[in-house]
Structure 1
Amino acid sequence: MPEKWTALLLLLQLLGNLETGEAIWFPWYFQRYGLAPHSTRHGGGHKNKTDATCPPGYEPKSPAVGLTGGIAGCERVSGSKQPGQRICDDNPVLMQLARLYVVSPERIVLLLAQPSLTDSCAEITDVLGNIRKSMRNCILAPDNIYGRLKDGLSYFQTEVCEGGDGSNRKRCTGLQESHNCLRELRTDMIECEAPADWYERRNASKVCHIFNDVLDCYYTRAALLCGVEVAKQLRSFAGDSMGRAMTHRCAVNKRLPRVDNAMPISANNGVGVGCPWFNSFHFLHIIFWVAGLEYIFSL
């Protein structure tokens, strides 16, 4: 018990030695210097104000600066002395995203259904380049919705336009090979989109519920038109790209929706049912070949 009172008296003594402006930083001083008196840490008093150790966010005042209040011997670090920390105006980012109609996470996925992936990737590269130029001397807040959409678009560029990394290269190849079917899926993908501004809600559980509903809708529509394998690839890519375009972190449900009438794989890979004219050509060729044999043997 006496030890506690001794420690308390030492704390009160240290507070008494601090000047008014410095007393508010006592927790910081205590963490850094312990219970040693303030004067012993700064060469015996405050005669030399520029030698004072300043708390976080402050720096020693220059000799030309007078004591105009605040912490004695210290001045607040201005924003201009912290390059790269100024908050950007997000209007230039918005204007660039509008070129691609990227106004929601789903619209990033919809870029897969554009008529030409080559042309889309060229415009995406230009858009992202202009955004980077507008952010050379500033940053967007971590929760800025346009900044998040920009991150999702960057992921699209990496995974689709540039071929993806090793782990997702197979998925990238599959999406490119199934592009013809994905183009026909455009209307269905638009119908899967959630209500406007759904991803801006504060309730994370509701946002994540809607997020997974959109993914399941993509999977179901793609399975019916393009086959289960393409549906899995689309759902996987949509989960990754949309997740990067949202402020909330949502887990993707592992359970896939049941689709009873999914398109057979052969109908989507250019073989069999997928090329009826090719089968008809071979059928006619066989008929003419048999007729020719009958004519020869009848002579």
Structure 2
Amino acid sequence: MTEKWSALLLLLQLLGNLESSQAIWFPWYFQRYGLVPHSFRHGGGHKNQTHHSGSTCPPGYEPKSSASKLTGEMVGCEHAGGSIGGGSGSGSERLCDDNPVLMQLARLYVVSPERIVLLLAQPSLTASCDEIADVLGNIQRSMRNCVLEPDNIYGRLADGLSYFRTEVCDGGDGSNRKRCTGLQESHNCLRELRTDMIECEAPADWYERRNATKVCHIFNDVLDCYYTRAALLCGLESAKQLRSFAGDSMGRAMIHKCEVNKRLPRVDNAMPIHEATGAGTTSPQFTYFILVNIVIGFACFQYIF
């Protein structure tokens, strides 16, 4: 009961720090689950686990022996058969408590793969990148002496967030540098796309489903929605870059590996490039119209005077 009240007070404190325009986007996760670690929420456990320990271990693991407490080590999980590598004692792999990872991701409201992509629509990419670096640094420090399970959703979300930092904040590698530049140049338009991107998000927990075919179908639906909305507001080139980045970043934040459909949705009324970016050459017809008006204006001026 004490833990529930503590979680509720923390939730109210976080909500109190939000502006009214941001509060409505507070993640559905905390409304549905509260601050519950992934391992507890998914009912992991081992037959040797006792109710007094309060820890949860995945199948094949059990709480560490009482000897670890005597040596001052943090209580965690270990393989049911002992340490990894035949019980040599030096290769023991302790599982991390994922709650610190969850708390760091909550600072950026990253509770789903789509929320990583939504960071592109933040008012300032520079400020976002600074906070992302701090969040990832804290996550790394919390995992210095332990590891997360490969299918831990918060660990995967952290991987997707790390990809965002590499590709957007650090300029990307050689093959994706052009895409990074394009996303930064179209940032003003992507900010206007924030509401559309939120409307493209899939139902809660979609990426945790066991049916890989269904998950990948939803994954590509989200990408196509991003592309269509971006094409209408920002132009086809920006839409392609957004879809490409979303596919890569979301793919790293998911347990299932999904292939991105190569066929792009058809968008009939896409925004022209020069209108989407505010740049481009003037059409010949418009130039002719301006010249005619200049000549007429000059003739009227001479007639009057």
TM-score (norm 1): 0.67
* Other-structure match for 2:276: 268
Q: Secondary structure at 1:165's aligned position in 2? A: coil
Letter in 2 for 1:82: G
Equivalent of 1:252 in 253, 256, 260: 260
Matched, 1:94 2:83: no
* Other-structure match for 1:82: 91
RMSD between aligned residues: 2.6
* Other-structure match for 1:186: 194
* Other-structure match for 1:169: 177
User: Offset at 1:57?
Assistant: 3.7
State the Cα deviation string for residues 147-194 of structure 1 (Å, max 9, x = none).
Answer: 000000000000000000010001000000000110111001000000
User: Offset at 1:293?
Assistant: 7.0
User: Offset at 1:298?
Assistant: 7.4
Q: Secondary structure at 2:256's aligned position in 1? A: coil
State the Cα deviation string for residues 249-290 of structure 1 (Å, max 9, x = none).
Answer: 00000011111111111211213699xxxx9xx96x996786
Letter in 1 for 2:91: Q
Letter in 2 for 1:111: L
Equivalent of 1:221 in 222, 229, 246: 229
User: Offset at 1:97?
Assistant: 0.2
Query: Structure 2: which 5+ runs fail to align?
Result: 1-83
Indicate how the Cα distance of structure 1 residues 199 and 269 shifts in structure 2: closer, same or farther if over 3 A, else same: same
Rounded to whole Å, the distance in 2 between the matches of 1:188 and 1:208 is 21
CA contact (8 A) 2:85 2:91 kept: no
Higher helix share: 1
Letter in 2 for 1:162: D
Please list, as runs of the form range in 1=range in 2, the aligned pairs for 1:43-192 lying within 5 A after superposition.
Answer: 57-58=85-86, 76-78=87-89, 81-82=90-91, 85-192=93-200
State the Cα deviation string for residues 95-128 of structure 1 (Å, max 9, x = none).
Answer: 0000000000000000000011011001000000
Rounded to whole Å, the distance in 2 between the matches of 1:155 and 1:289 is 57
CA contact (8 A) 2:96 2:146 kept: yes
User: Offset at 1:205?
Assistant: 0.6
Rounded to whole Å, the distance in 2 between the matches of 1:298 and 1:188 is 54
Letter in 2 for 1:245: A
For this pair of structures, how many residues does the alignment match? 218
CA contact (8 A) 1:114 1:183 kept: yes
Q: Secondary structure at 2:168's aligned position in 1? A: helix
Rounded to whole Å, the distance in 1 between the matches of 2:297 and 2:230 is 44
* Other-structure match for 1:239: 247
CA contact (8 A) 1:88 1:138 kept: yes
Greater than 2 Å deviation, 4+ residue runs: 271-274, 285-299
Percentage of pairs with the same residue? 76
CA contact (8 A) 2:234 2:277 kept: no
Rounded to whole Å, the distance in 2 between the matches of 1:116 and 1:273 is 29
CA contact (8 A) 1:148 1:247 kept: yes
Rounded to whole Å, the distance in 2 between the matches of 1:119 and 1:203 is 38
